[in-house]
Each structure stands twice: as C-alpha cells, then as structure tokens.
Homo-oligomer: A and B are copies of this chain.
Amino acid sequence: MTADDRSLPLRERKRLRTRRAIADIALRLFTEKGFHATTVEELVGEAEVSRSTFFRAFATKEAAAVEAETELWTTYLGELADRRPSGPVLAGLCDTLARTAGVLPPDWDHRYMATRRLILTSPALLGHVEYQRTGVERQVVACLAEKLGLDPDDLRLRILAELATTAWSVAARDWVRDGGDGGRQALTDRLRDAFAAVPDALNLSPGAS
C-alpha cells in the first residue's frame, strides 16, 4: 500500500507518491496559513502539480487535509474484517482499535496530531470527518451483522459501532491535547479507559460522582 512497494506497477507507485506529496504539503500549508485561507491554487503551486491532478487525487480540499484520519479508519475496517468474533462484541471493538493503533506507520502520529489540531480550527473539516465517521460506522455495522448473523438494522449493532468511535474520539482528543506524550502505548491506555467508562456512564446519576 505504500508508494515504495516495488511489487506495485510504476504507474501506481507514482500515483501514490503524488497523493502522499500533496497530502503532506496540504497539511503543512493549512497548518501555517489556516485551512480556509489557503487556496487550492497555492497548494498545487507548492506541490508542482496541476489543479486537475489535485482533484484526481482528492475529491475535495477537505479530504486532502484529513488524509491521516482516513488512513486510520481504513486500517480499522481492514483489521475488523480480518478478525474472528469471540467474546463480548464491545471488547472486540476495543481490541480492534488498539490493534489498529499498533499497525499504523510510525510517521502517522505526527500527521494525525496535526490533522486533529487543524480540525479544531475549521467547521468544514469537522463536518468532513463526522461525515466520514458515519460511513465507517455503517460499514462496521454491516461487517458485524455479517459475522454474527444478525440483521444489519439491529439497534444494538449501531449502538456498539457508535460507542467504539466515540471511545476512540475521546481517547484521541486527550492524547492529542497532551502532544502525543507516551506514544502509542499512552493512546491505547486511554482507549481502554474510555471503553471502561461506558458501563459507568449508563449508571451515572446526579449526586453519585
């Protein structure tokens, strides 16, 4: 899947290299000047590709900004598909997310943190990742329904898929806020904490802290 994979045809390698180059430059420019203030025109100038090439690599300006986020969820869905169901489903999703965090490439940390920080500054980006998230959840539900032999409309599956992404979201938010201190281990620790908080949340009542 990487641009240096010699097994891939040259055409494909070039395409992936261009895509990666654009995403890197996009993240840098958006961080420096702001997402809204940076035009696609400037971006493609810096990347030395044409507008056409940009929009062939990414459907929207937003998509170029959140490439690291996309990698995360693509990997998550891949890991989930490979997995055999055993034990409580929610725990399984927690493990899958932890495994995902372990499998992502080393340079992903920095890109993801930059992306998340960027998202905090731009409604358009938040909108884009939230939209992306619903797509991921839909696929998780479909995958689980298939494996467990359940109706894809089962209320419980949707609740589980949503809880998993929420737990990630909360864990990642705090991890990013602390500058990624403690690396992937810290991230997975926070993730387990977030999943552990779910039963507590259901029992939460006023007065009982």
Contacts and interface: CB of A to CB of B under 8 A. Distances in A.
Interface string A142-175: 0000011010010111111011001100100010
Contacts of A5: none
Contacts of A167: 159
A37 interface: no
Contacts of A158: 166, 170
A203 interface: yes
A206 B85 contact: yes
Q: How large is the interface on A (under 10, 10 to 19, 20 to 34, 35 or more residues)?
A: 35 or more
B126 A89 contact: no
B131 A90 contact: no
Given A150-B209, A206-B148, A156 B197 contact: yes
Nearest to A59: B123
B194 A86 contact: no
A74 interface: no
Contacts of A159: 163, 166-167, 170, 197-198, 201
Interface of A: 85-90, 123, 126-128, 130-131, 133-134, 147-148, 150, 153, 155-160, 162-163, 166-167, 170, 174, 193-194, 197-206, 209
Closest 9 CB pairs of A and B: A127-B131, A156-B201, A159-B201, A155-B197, A130-B130, A85-B206, A89-B204, A162-B166, A88-B205
